[in-house]
Amino acid sequence: METSSSQNPTLLDEYSEPCPKVANHDFIKKIQPFHQDPGYFATITENQFISLYRINKNEERYNLKYIAQKKIGNYIYDIANIPYNCLNIEHQNNLDLIAVTSKNVPIQIYKIRTENENVVFKHATTLSYIKQNSEEYVDFLTTQHNVNTNMLLLGGKNTFIGFDLNKIKLGYRSKKILKKEIISCMAAPSNNPNSIVALGNFDRSIKIMATSSDDIAANLDAHVGGLTCLKFSPVDNNYLVSGGRRDNLVYLWDLRNPSSFVTYYERKGFTNQRLNFDISLDNHLYLGNEDGSVVVYDIKDSTVKSYYQAGKESINNISLQYLHNEKKAFALSSSGARIFSLETKMEIEDDDSDKEENNRGLFIKPQESTITSNNLKLWEAVYPETLPEPTPLALPQPQIQEVQTVQVVQENVTVTTTVEVQETADGGVEKTVVETVEVVETTVVQGNENPENTENAAATSSAIETEN
């Protein structure tokens, strides 16, 4: 791919290891920006570390500043950022909160405090959800905070729930997740009045759900591998980008017409590892490749805006960061890969892999693996000339396929029955029956009233009202 070098981001700083205190055999799994604290971000690593960084300005140059870290006792699946004013706790000198999902333990929420010029992790609260008919905790592979509803959403094996952080209790549990499903990733649009969330599944499908009603608005299906990353466009929330593992194509969807994808973008991603991507405020899609390169697409016309080398191994994370007060934009990239040697080198699965795929013999998990070329880099990107006002999500209305009307007239009562047949989001058929009853009033000739007829008409009308 050829592109103008002036369009490529400029490298500002890098760490050759995910954290100064982390051993070589580790790599970053996710980069999580802080929404209310510009320039701050957290990372999670394979060896169960949460690390905190800040984009720091040193004279005229920006660099990465390592701040603090915490070792989590169990394997970390995911983290989510929660603005500190969304939880009823003392927030003086606090940065944003971090929710952590780990293996075989409840969800932990930490507050990050500044104490005597040091930054420390402090436990804020615990959220527990136990499997039905069991004493085991549900393992949640993905989590995200919905600012509009102040709900912490969590997805895992046949489970999708939400904790109401106003009351610190379970506020939502979906009944539409099947037993075979494993929710592997999720995304919510920034302008989200309908509480919509996109759920990626290890069965290769995507559900568009309304948490306010637990309705499935649409099902999206195109990927050849389990879903690992979903992002809504910050410019137009009707557009969703999806990527899966062992899949060299990333798809663009328009949720106003979800029957098929709009277009796709090519990448080198035939790996079981998660390759998390991001979308900038000028609607550019940043994709990491397994050969260490990054390709930047214009979402509208699919043209390549930039292509550059960011590492030697898989670029498993790209995250865009903004310092709006200084009108600066940055791209964070992390790389690292686990490889092993049998007869040839092959990449291995994430710990959160789909067991059904393993049973079919597609993936192998050996006893030993080697992690190579881990790093975290800071790149200067292009700050948009104008900040977008996100176009709100407009879900499609169900299409009425057939309307049947039957009208029956009996004496002075007309009953009209209308049956509407429409296709549901999951491909089924839904029938809506609307029955309209009209009473024809009896004409009374002056001077010749018939009390008996009047009484019968009143009785008939009363009976009809009672029936409705």
Question: Which of 203, 140, 244 lies closest to 357 in space, CA to CA?
Answer: 203
Cα distances from 127 to residues 42, 124, 138, 163, 237, in angstroms, run 21, 10, 11, 8, 30
pLDDT for position 347? 43
Question: Contact at 8 Å (CB) between 48 and 75?
Answer: yes
Question: Contact at 8 Å (CB) between 157 and 134?
Answer: no
C-alpha span between 439 and 201 (Å, rounded): 53
Please give the CATH topology (third level) of the domain spanning 5-381: Methylamine Dehydrogenase; Chain H (2.130.10)
C-alpha span between 232 and 268 (Å, rounded): 21
**Domain segments of the chain as ranges:** 5-381, 400-467
Question: Contact at 8 Å (CB) between 315 and 278?
Answer: no
pLDDT for position 143? 96
DSSP for residue 452:
H
pLDDT for position 9? 81
Beta-strand (E) ranges in 9-75? 10-15, 28-33, 40-45, 49-58, 61-71
The pLDDT tens digits along the chain (468 residues) read 555 444 688 888 887 654 555 455 678 899 999 987 889 999 998 889 999 999 998 888 899 999 999 999 899 999 999 988 888 776 666 778 999 999 999 999 998 887 766 888 989 999 999 987 778 899 999 999 988 889 999 999 999 999 999 998 999 999 998 888 999 999 998 877 678 999 999 999 999 999 888 999 999 999 999 999 999 999 999 999 999 999 999 999 999 999 999 999 999 998 888 999 999 999 999 999 999 999 999 999 999 999 999 988 899 999 999 999 999 999 999 987 666 554 444 444 444 544 444 433 334 444 455 556 678 999 999 998 888 788 887 876 555 455 566 666 666 666 666 666 655 544 555 666 666 666 655 544 444 444 444 444 333 333 333 333
> What's the token pair of residue 74?
């169990």
